[in-house]
Amino acid sequence: MRQAVHIFPIATRGRGLVAFTSEVAGWLAAQEIETGLLTLFCRHTSASLLIQENADSDVLEDIESFFARLAPEEPGRYRHDAEGPDDMPGHLRAALTDTQLSIPVIGGRMALGTWQGLYLFEHRRAPHRREVAAHVIGT
């Protein structure tokens, strides 16, 4: 068994989904692991990870609209607002999505479906520098 780790820095422009499939695919190919398991972990409490449609940007916009309705920014709605009105909604959105993904590695590649891509879901309005930790183990 072999394993490797890496930290992917991801710059966001504020709220929304940032694709990072190609960065992970390139790093994974360099590890020369044919069969195994890739784990990705978001190191933040107001951002998360999604595997989602990568062909139609309307899907990403609809996801953001849905979460805006589900966890809205409303003054006085939440007790926790230490970093502004988007702080607690960001934590709620992260709690309802994933901070960790596990993806099989088959033939040296992520076993994603044809229309699947990896996304960091930024839940805050301001741009941030996020980090996703990666670990792959296999042969």
pLDDT on residue 81? 87
pLDDT on residue 73? 93
The residue among 89, 95, 48, 53 whose CA lies nearest residue 70 is 89
Q: Model-level pTM?
A: 0.95
pLDDT on residue 75? 87
Q: 69: which residues sit within 8 A by CB, 6+ positions away? A: none
Question: Is 133 within 8 Å of 100 (Cβ atoms)?
Answer: no
> pLDDT truncated to tens, each residue of the chain (139 aa)?
999 999 999 999 999 999 999 999 999 999 999 999 999 999 999 999 999 999 999 999 999 999 999 999 998 899 998 899 999 999 999 999 999 999 999 999 999 999 999 999 999 999 999 999 999 999 9
**What residues does each domain of the chain span?**
2-138
Cα distances (angstroms) measured from residue 44 to each of 71, 85, 86: 18, 18, 15
Return the H-helix or E-strand segment holding 18: strand 16-19
Fold annotation for 2-138: Jelly Rolls (2.60.120)
Using CA of residue 94, residue 100, residue 101, residue 107, what is the dihedral sign?
Answer: positive
